[in-house]
Amino acid sequence: MMKTQRDAHQQKWIRHFENNRLHRPEPDWNAPFHMEEKKRRALAWSLAEYQLGDGGGPCRLIARDAESYRQSSPYTQMVTDHWFREEAEHSRLLSGAVQRLSGTFVTDTFAFRQFQRVRRLMGAQFEMLVLLQVEIISTVYYRIIRKHCGDEPIAAMCRLILRDESGHVSYHRDRLCQDHPGGWNLLQRAWFYFLGYACATVLWLGHGWALRALGMRDGDFVAQVHRGLTSFVRAVVRRTSAVSAGFISPASAKTDPIPAS
Ligand SMILES: [Fe+2]
Ligand SMILES: [Fe+2]
């Protein structure tokens, strides 16, 4: 990809992140709280683990070549830092929810350590692909929490995080389309689905019981994961086709955003 195109793409997303810092009403954490005990315990446990994973650990790229990727241009550095600033904000919001639920904060888990190892293992491009998968699967998680939590401040927190994650997923879509202007071949798509379902399985093994305790119906999680992965692949096809047909420029914002809900 030409450097000027990459710079234009990064600048577009820097503007997005700067705008997204505005109009963020804080959930009313002090609103009256009523929740069935079984549900409260499940939600507190699940959100405490999520608080660690969603911006609560090392909130930056940690792959072995992360710094050289980040410093490949001033725009790459800026857009990457904006992205992780929003992740840190998720951790802050989740802390508010854990406190509201009288939960216990988590500072380390086996799954979290393995996740960090996977992120360090390969290069920054692979790490970002894994983080994209986590964002797609987390979108499903936060939608289920928003729908079933029965608590307005926690639902408001989910709405804010979903708004951010929609931007993050769209940012990665644009980034990947710039890197693969001819679209993905069959093997790349199969790899994408494989990683996506692997992330979904890890989340389900850790948090599935808590989501069921909240009232999620069997099958909802898998159906939404499949929809999330498929809609991302379709968005990549749409965008790369539109760019190669000359309907939009590579740095254009004129494609369907990945829906937040
Ligand atoms: Fe996040
Ligand atoms: Fe994110």
Query: What's the gap in Å between 87 CA and the centre of ligand 1?
Result: 4
Question: Which ligand gives the minimal distance to the CA of 82?
Answer: 2
Query: What's the gap in Å between 87 CA and the centre of ligand 2?
Result: 6
Looking at residue 257, what DSSP letter applies? P
Query: What's the gap in Å between 147 CA and the centre of ligand 1?
Result: 18
| b/e burial code for range 75-103 (CB count within 10 A of at least 16 → b) | bbebbbebbbebbebbbebbbbbbebbeb
Flag whether pLDDT at 258 surpasses 60: no
Comparing CA positions, the residue from 187, 248, 215, 226 lying closest to residue 9 is 248
Torsion angle of C-alpha atoms 57, 59, 64, 66, degrees rounded to 10: 170
CB 9 within 8 A of CB 175: yes
**Tokens matching residue 256:** 């369907």
| b/e burial code for range 14-25 (CB count within 10 A of at least 16 → b) | eebbeebeeeee
Query: What's the gap in Å between 202 CA and the centre of ligand 2?
Result: 17
Chain-centre distance for alpha carbon 98: 19
Q: What is the mean pLDDT of the chain?
A: 92
Average pLDDT over residues 27-46: 97
CB 116 within 8 A of CB 62: yes
**Tokens matching residue 198:** 């692997």
Query: What's the gap in Å between 88 CA and the centre of ligand 1?
Result: 8
Model pLDDT, residue 7:
83
Question: Which ligand gives the minimal distance to the CA of 87?
Answer: 1
Query: What's the gap in Å between 90 CA and the centre of ligand 1?
Result: 5
Tens digits of per-residue pLDDT, 193-251?
999 999 999 999 999 999 999 999 989 999 999 999 999 999 999 988 887 777 777 66
Single-letter code of the amino acid located at 122 = M
Write down all domains in the chain, each with its CATH number in brackets.
Answer: 37-244 (1.20.1260.10)
CB 10 within 8 A of CB 76: yes
Query: What's the gap in Å between 244 CA and the centre of ligand 1?
Result: 32
Cα–Cα distance between 90 and 44 in angstroms, integer? 16
Tens digits of per-residue pLDDT, 51-73?
998 988 889 999 999 999 999 99
Model pLDDT, residue 245:
76
Average pLDDT over residues 81-107: 97
Chain-centre distance for alpha carbon 28: 24
* Cβ count near 167 (within 10 Å): 22
Query: What's the gap in Å between 3 CA and the centre of ligand 1?
Result: 28
Flag whether pLDDT at 25 surpasses 90: yes
Query: What's the gap in Å between 225 CA and the centre of ligand 2?
Result: 16
Phi, psi of 143 (to 5 degrees): -65, -40
Question: Which ligand gives the minimal distance to the CA of 142?
Answer: 1
Query: What's the gap in Å between 84 CA and the centre of ligand 2?
Result: 8
In this structure, which residues have their CB less than 5 angstroms from ion ligand 2? 135, 165, 168
Question: Which ligand gives the minimal distance to the CA of 52?
Answer: 1
Model pLDDT, residue 58:
87
Model pLDDT, residue 122:
86
Query: What's the gap in Å between 135 CA and the centre of ligand 2?
Result: 5
Looking at residue 57, what DSSP letter applies? S
Tens digits of per-residue pLDDT, 161-187?
999 999 999 999 999 998 998 999 999
Query: What's the gap in Å between 61 CA and the centre of ligand 2?
Result: 12
Model pLDDT, residue 126:
95
Residue the block writes with tokens 């909130």: 59
Model pLDDT, residue 255:
47
Please give the biggest Cα pair distance in the chain: 57
Cα–Cα distance between 78 and 75 in angstroms, integer? 5
Model pLDDT, residue 259:
52
Q: What is the pTM of this model?
A: 0.92
Query: What's the gap in Å between 200 CA and the centre of ligand 2?
Result: 16
Model pLDDT, residue 1:
54
Question: Which ligand gives the minimal distance to the CA of 55?
Answer: 1
